[in-house]
Amino acid sequence: MRLYVRDRSRFINMVHTVAELRSFVEDYLYGTPVVLGDVSVFSGQMRSMLLKFLEDNPMVDCYSSVDISDAVLLSRFTQVIKEPNELTTAHSVDDYFESDCSLQSSVLHLGIPDSARLLTQGASRFGVSLLCLATRGQDE
């Protein structure tokens, strides 16, 4: 039994309510490999049902969109497969002009190469927007 955390590479049978989980358990064909999720949003009653179901059915894997801290639930899995969290940086001319428009603000809010950052000092909104467009795709 595996727990997939943020790994959506397999088909996941999503259940959202106790009734849906009960229906899934009743219709499950023993020995069929399946991924059930999202266990991170299961209510207490659903987790209890899931624990009993996992005891009786070793071919069932689970999916979670976030890390699970429930030790009892984690103890049911032989392997935890995690996809790392991906943080993305959003660059915005509006955020730059709402800040103090310093050189440090250009680093935080504008996705432009270091060689063009000095050109932002004292420039108008239109000028900074053009600079961002002109340098798009260049290495920072």
Length in residues, the chain = 140
Average pLDDT for consecutive 10-residue bins of the chain (140 residues)?
A: 90 93 94 92 93 93 91 93 74 80 78 78 82 69
Rounded Cα distance between 24 and 17, Å, is 11
Encode 21-39: b = buried (16+ Cβ within 10 Å), e = exposed. beebbeebeeeeebbbbeb
Q: What is the pLDDT of residue 2?
A: 93
Q: What is the pLDDT of residue 129?
A: 83
Q: What is the pLDDT of residue 88?
A: 57
pLDDT in tens, 45-62: 999 999 999 999 999 999
